[in-house]
Amino acid sequence: MANIKEIIKQEYIKCAKDPIYFMKKYCWIQHPTRGRIQFNLYPFQEGVLTLLQKNDRNIILKSRQLGISTLSAGMALWMMIFQKDKAILVVATKQDTAKNLVTKVKFMYDSLPSWLQIGFVEKNKLALRLKNGSQIKAVSAASDAGRSEAISLLIIDEAAFIEENRIEEIWGSSQQTLSTGGKAIVLSTPNGTGNFFHRMWAKAEEGVNGFVPIRLPWTVHPERNEEWRTKQDDELGLRMAAQECDCDFTTSGNTVYDVDILKYYEGTFVCEPVEKRGIEGNLHIWEYPDYTRNYMIVADVARGDSKDFSAFHIIDIETAKQIGEFKGQIGTKEFGHMLVAIATEYNNAMLVVENANIGWNTIQVIIDKSYKNLYYSPKGDAATNAEAFLAKGYDIIDTTKMTPGFTMSSKTRPLVIGKLDAYLRDKSIIIQGKRTLEEMRTFIWRHGRPEAQLGYNDDLVMSLATACYVRDTALKFAQQGIDITSATLKNWQRDAPTIYTGKVNKKQAGWTQDMGEHGEQDLTWLL
């Protein structure tokens, strides 16, 4: 009898010292296909468990079905049994997901020999409390998770799929208790870039947030091979398989613009500018003005808060090539002066400024400086339908039918966003700015509406989309003899009055451009 007691004592000590030994020898799990089996950890799982034990902050970027949630459950059970008064909180997108991890803990506990079972004082589907004071509780992200909790171990499961404002709140409210010595395990498959999980992962890789990054693609599993991976492509689709198996952030998530197309642009066109202007280098220039070409500058004015930026693109109208890009925080009046200066430099470029809210301040500066090539929006149906405007037979000299700047509305916004999508798919636009591509990756569908992820901006995206839309509609109006700027584009002529001057230019009929010694070029193909 004494020998048995001594053996149990030694086994207990071994288990208390080594969670790997404890799990491999005494824990049983419910396998999805094999049923009840002993928890024989794979080498990669042992490596992960060693890191979880060694480090207080761990973030795990994982492939699907690697048993990491089960491993976290085992870690939680080990802490509960061998350490008194430990509080473990499991947070997930839904209560059922969080509950599953508690269920795993209970299953393992029930499989333990009696001498390892302490006994429950509370046991239900969402919480377990042992007689030594240690407990585990499961909550959904929608609850007041982590608030006023003394947390010894925080497990956030599928963190990338928790709504941005909720996970920010959860993490913020848990910091006070975690800072006193608690551990945190944040784990997930990827779900796009720019969200809380992606930002935390990126900072962990940079070594700036105290988290140890643990990346677990499908290749770490010894029972998986290329045949298995190919099968995942067939079952899940290429995009979902890259997310679920390869831990690929860039192909995951619900982005508005196709991530494969964005990757093509990044690999084909994105490059360093030839010049960065300004004190902070916020104006990137890829090409200097060519006085034989015609340009448009499309600007988005910041709302005025500290998180918003003013932005504009310089676009070669003929080629739809981005040759300049600005993103920075600047006063509305200063922004107006800047736009006039850059537009003048680029051959009196057509200047398109969104006229919503504070944008009027910038537009007024442009008008006060008598800049002649400011874009005006048609009112009414013409804002979304050029043909409708023409069919109504408006007097094109009557400026009451026009308003300065570009009018972004509930009607024009989806058309603008869709126009950029069409340009991208046709590869009929050239984007050279890395910042623009980065914004596109965080431009997602949220509650059925395309917009920037929380904490990110879409200033460059929206101004570029507007540029594509204006380029098409401006040329469509021009084909009918209607100029929607305060002056015709340099050297682009039509045998018709302009909206603002009422003057008739009789030099040239048709939609042409003077190419100097090369004669006139027919540009109707642009329409």
Q: In whole angstroms, give the CA distance from residue 61 to residue 187.
A: 6
pLDDT for res 102: 92
- Burial category of 351 from C-beta neighbours within 10 Å (exposed 0-12, middle 13-18, buried 19 and up): buried
Residue 392 forms part of a structural domain: yes
Q: Are residues 371 and 497 in the same domain?
A: yes
SS3 state at 327: strand
Residue ranges in the chain whose pLDDT is less than 70? 1-2, 143-149, 177, 250-253, 304-306, 379-401, 447, 474-527
* Residue the block writes with tokens 């947390």: 151
Beta strands in 272-380 (DSSP E): 275-277, 283-285, 295-300, 310-316, 321-328, 350-353, 376-378
The dihedral of CA 405, 411, 413, 415: what is its sign?
negative
Q: Give the pair of three-digit tokens for residue 327.
A: 């993103």
How many H-runs (helices) and E-runs (strands) does the chain carry? 16, 23
| Angle, in degrees to the nearest 10, between helices 359-368 and 332-345 | 50
What's 439's domain CATH number?
A: 3.30.420.240
Kind plus residue range of the DSSP H or E element containing 246: helix 238-246
**Residue 7 falls within a domain, yes or no?**
no
Same domain, 221 and 340: no
Q: Exposed, middle or buried by CB within 10 Å (0-12, 13-18, 19+), for 337?
A: middle
Burial class (CB in 10 A: 0-12, 13-18, 19+), 519: exposed
Q: Tell me the C-alpha distance between 456 and 180, whole Å.
A: 31
In what helix (H) or strand (E) does residue 153 lie, and over which residues does it extend?
strand 153-157
- Structure-block tokens of residue 167: 């996970």
- 313 and 235 in a common domain: no
Whether residues 399 and 310 share a domain: the answer is yes
β-strands 135-140, 127-130 pairing: antiparallel
CATH number at residue 52: 3.40.50.300
How is residue 181 written in tokens?
Answer: 């010595």
Show the tokens assigned to 191.
């779900």
Is 449 exposed, middle or buried, given 0-12, 13-18 or 19+ CB atoms closer than 10 A? exposed
How far apart, in Å, do the first and last CA atoms of the chain sit?
95
Residues 389 and 506 in one domain: yes
Sign of the C-alpha dihedral computed for residues 400, 402, 407 and 413 taken in this order:
positive
Reduced to 3 states, what is the DSSP secondary structure of residue 108?
Answer: helix
Residue 505 confidence (pLDDT): 35
Domain region containing 448: 259-526
> SS3 of 41, please?
coil
On whether both 194 and 288 belong to a single domain, the answer is no
DSSP 485: B
Shared domain check, 316 and 235: no
Assess if residue 220 is contained within a domain.
yes
- pLDDT for res 391: 45
Q: Indicate whether 209 and 66 sit together in one domain.
A: yes
Are β-strands 350-353 and 295-300 bridged in parallel, bridged antiparallel, or unpaired? parallel
Inside any domain, residue 319: yes
pLDDT for 145 equals 56
pLDDT (tens digit, 9 = 90+) per residue, 270-323? 999 999 998 889 999 999 999 999 999 999 998 766 678 999 999 999 899 999
| Residue 276 and residue 238 share a domain | no
Which residue among 184, 219, 246 closes a domain? Answer: 246
Do residue 308 and residue 349 come from a single domain? yes
The reply to whether 280 falls in a domain is yes
H helices of 346-453, in order, are 359-368, 386-391, 412-426, 434-441
Domain boundary among 222, 246, 270: 246
- Residue 98: its pLDDT value, please? 85
Do 268 and 234 fall within a single domain? Answer: no
R_g over Cα of the chain = 31
Task: Report the pLDDT value the prediction gives residue 141, as an integer from 0 to 100.
Answer: 82
Residue 145 contacts residue 96 (beta carbons within 8 Å): no
Question: What span, in angstroms and rounded, lies between the C-alpha atoms of 524 and 510?
Answer: 8
Residue with tokens 């570009």: 406
pLDDT of residue 356: 81
pLDDT (0 to 100) of residue 399: 52
C-alpha to C-alpha distance for 472 and 454, rounded to whole angstroms:
31
In a shared domain, residues 383 and 429: yes
Query: Is residue 13 situated within a structural domain?
Result: no
94 within some domain: yes
Question: Are 349 and 314 in contact, with CB atoms under 8 Å apart?
Answer: yes
Q: What is the pLDDT of residue 165?
A: 80
- How many domains, the chain? 2
